[in-house]
Structure 1
Amino acid sequence: MNLHICPDCFSAPGLKRRLQEVRRSLPNGISCDFHSTKKGIPIKLAAAIVDPVFRENFVGGPYDAYYDRYLENVGSDLEDTLLDLTGADDTRVIDGLISELIDADSYWPPDGEEAFYDHEYRYSREQTGLSEHNQLWSAFKTSLMHQRRFFNAEAEDLLVRIFEDVHQQRDMNSSGPVYMISPGAQGSSFVRARVANEPAKRDEIKADLAGKLGPPPERMRKPGRLNPSGISAFYGAYDADTCIAELRPSVGELVALAEFRITEAICVLDTTLFGARPKAYDPFALKARKRAAQWLFMTGFMNEIARPILPDDVHLDYVPTQAVAEFLSNREFAFAGGKRTIDAIIYRSAQHPGGRNIALLGPASVVGPIVETSNSKLAPGEPSIWSDWLTPEAPPRTRISPVPESFRVHRVDGVTFTAPASEVSNSGAEDTE
């Protein structure tokens, strides 16, 4: 069939866009059979675009009227399914597509293979492919937690596949989960706290906010949801109520807290974005199916990072998310005009509904007072007391600094909790200053 079509024969935005790209590479001279003023494209080229998208998004099979009448959804015939997928404005366009798809359908009956396209088949949406990333995550956890903990190339390969191009995801407002936060901008400050019931302890914290509220020394660093033992991470909350709730103090205890601010721009992965609706699904967009599967996975991963873990379970249950944090903070990707690693992960609070937490990782977690660098040099002719090989290693530069005037003390006058759905819900007074 020598039918010629054009992008305006369809209403599906992704298909129109891809047909426009194809048309630019073709010579002029042939018009669309349905829009005479438009440059035409052989319908065979349109079928070549539609075919892999159709196969990825639909499954089909013979229609059995006796059996299928007992099912709620028996799908649609080939013509209606293609019409829904492409938004063709003329049934002759659909007829032409069907003819090309059937002619190009490759199968071998002697080996038991069956046609994919058939007028007698019914087609329905393919759902199993959307679980791909969840299956990869399950394989990753099994490999890391129960097979090989260190030097695990298989686990690393799985993480590459799971988080590939996650920075290109977009929600319905075109916001992405990976973005930069600059000093002084929204999201650049957060709160840290410690239980401090004794006046002397509160005085110590107030006198040394960086040392007392920052990450502990190397050998005293306990494992957290995004850092293993000994590895630095700075956990903060975006408001005092969330910070206190995450600390889980007892009623009557006093909590000392202060605000901290970043001193350099950081690149963050904001997992809370996946609580919103994703950008409208365009089956003709490149990697559309993988993007949808990744979004579905990230929705669950967002909850996995936030979920509370009991102290007895920390040793094993934190391992997968710790590995993810280390992977993201060490793997470069193209973003913001250069190569970037993830400096911090933002996640929702399981202890305070609506609250958000942030974990700054590795070099981005270094806390200290702002120190003015000196440009002073040795006096002319003055010898150095250090030879080159004895020069001490420069301390890591400060990336987070406390705000001294933000120090304050809260008293915990009550807690709020919810019983299981089958029981009566009880609540007490919330944390107060």
Structure 2
Amino acid sequence: MKCCENCFNDVDIKARIRDIDERGDCDFCHSKNVYSLDIKKAINNENYAENIIFDFEGLLNLYIVYDLNKSPALEKLDDESHKLADQLFNNTNIFNLPSNEISKLLKELLHRKYIENKELFNSLVIPRYLLNDNLMKNNGIFKGKTWESFERDIKYNNRFHSTMTNENILMEFFEATTVSLPVGSEFYRARISNNGDPIPGYAMGAAPLGIAGPGRLNASGIGYLYLCERYDVAIAEIKSSLNDLCTVAKFKISSELNLVDLSQINKLSIFQFDNKEQYLMNYEILNKLDYSMRRLSSNQRSEIEYVPTEFISDLIKYMQIDGKKVDGIKYISTIDDETRDIVLFDENKAIQLKDELLTYQVKKISYTNLKKVH
């Protein structure tokens, strides 16, 4: 039997299957003539697909069969018990298959383990880390608490000296997303004119210190340079209205940048981490962080709503990776999922192209009906 790259979301597994450089028809997602993995070869040859069998067998060690007869104390974890395929579907980004097909694929790929322990594949299981409070406290980003608990704490309890964050754990995940941005990369910044006149180039940089309003990644008074890959998306992001005059400046990156790419924070591969249990217990938090970065904001959004992601930004600002400071953050535009924005902590890392300053007047606005209101 064969599975293929389309069966997976995991970037590491997809890359390994492509590297095999074999094409075929998939028995699980039914894609035709795609990069595929021959399961029989994988079972019989540990070098095939860089020992993909070994890595998937390692996932089994993260779970334990949920047996109330052996330990009635487990009853409090009843809501966390699911079949193995469902656990991997809900709490990892490994597969691009429904749970029933994941189950079939696991039983084929891990056939030897399935013969040894069918109960692990067919019965309800729970993640092992749930049985160890100290493990969650030491390895959880928020010491075993949720993203929602962190939001409440940072907004209403301990704004500047949060004690509920394992910062070193969080920075491990940030480091795994680090990317370089080459010299010459081009981005745009848009602003709405307050007086109906085009905005001069000297006023198109980061907002001055003390004047800058609160943003998704900067606290009030701290001026960072927000840039966008596309000029039209940059205009949409500033929430311009009909007849507004918008000036757009073009910037070119003047030196190679070291960025934390938050657009990848929920796409990290579990297989790239030695401590897979740590990944597993923090997976939901990484997804909540991703959601917070992509959540649309209105002009009426209160300053306090930005506090959690401002905290994240401050943490990244003072990171060092391989002895180098981080220059900024890359993230998904809230307007367009295919567009990337960046925020630079030092605006001097980008040069404004003086002859590329353009002014537009908004003449048309389109609307999208997201859902029916009753």
Q: TM-score, normalised by structure 1?
A: 0.56
Deviation at 1:74, TM superposition (A): 6.9
Q: Report deviation, 1:423.
A: 5.0
Q: Given the alignment, which residue of 145, 149, 161 partners 2:169?
A: 161
Task: Select 2:357's aligned residue among 407, 414, 418.
Answer: 407
2: CA distance, partners of 1:308 / 1:9: 49
Partner of 1:256, secondary structure, is strand
Deviation at 1:293, TM superposition (A): 4.7
Q: Specify the alignment match of 2:311 in structure 1.
A: 323
Q: Provide the residue aligned with 2:333 in structure 1.
A: 349
1:289 paired residue number: 277
Determine the structure 2 residue equivalent to 1:273.
Answer: 264
1:348–1:356 contact (8 Å) kept in structure 2: yes
Cα RMSD between the aligned structures? 4.2
**Mapped partners of 1:419, 1:17: distance in 2:** 44
Query: Which residues in structure 2 correspond to 1:33-432 (within 5 Å)?
Result: 54-61=60-67, 84=107, 87=110, 89=112, 123-126=123-126, 135-152=145-162, 154-155=163-164, 157-168=165-176, 177-184=177-184, 188-196=185-193, 201-202=197-198, 205=200, 209=201, 211-274=202-265, 279=269, 282=271, 286-333=274-321, 338-352=322-336, 354-361=338-345, 364-365=346-347, 398-422=348-372
Following the alignment from structure 1 to structure 2, what is the Cα–Cα distance between the partners of residues 85 and 328?
Answer: 42
Greater alpha carbon shift after TM alignment, 339-348 vs 244-253: 339-348
Identical columns (%): 18
May I ask how many residue pairs the two structures share in their alignment? 292
How far has the Cα of 1:129 moved from its partner? Answer: 6.0
1:345 match: secondary structure: strand
2:156 and 2:213 map into 1 onto residues whose CA distance is 22
- Contact 1:235 / 1:357 at 8 angstroms: preserved in 2? yes
Larger Rg: 1
Q: Unaligned regions of 5+ residues in structure 1, if any?
A: 1-6, 19-48, 64-72, 99-117, 169-176, 366-397, 425-433
Q: CA deviation at 1:318?
A: 0.4
Deviation at 1:138, TM superposition (A): 2.9
1:149 alignment partner AA? R
Work out the CA distance in 1 between the residues paired with 2:187 and 2:291. Answer: 21
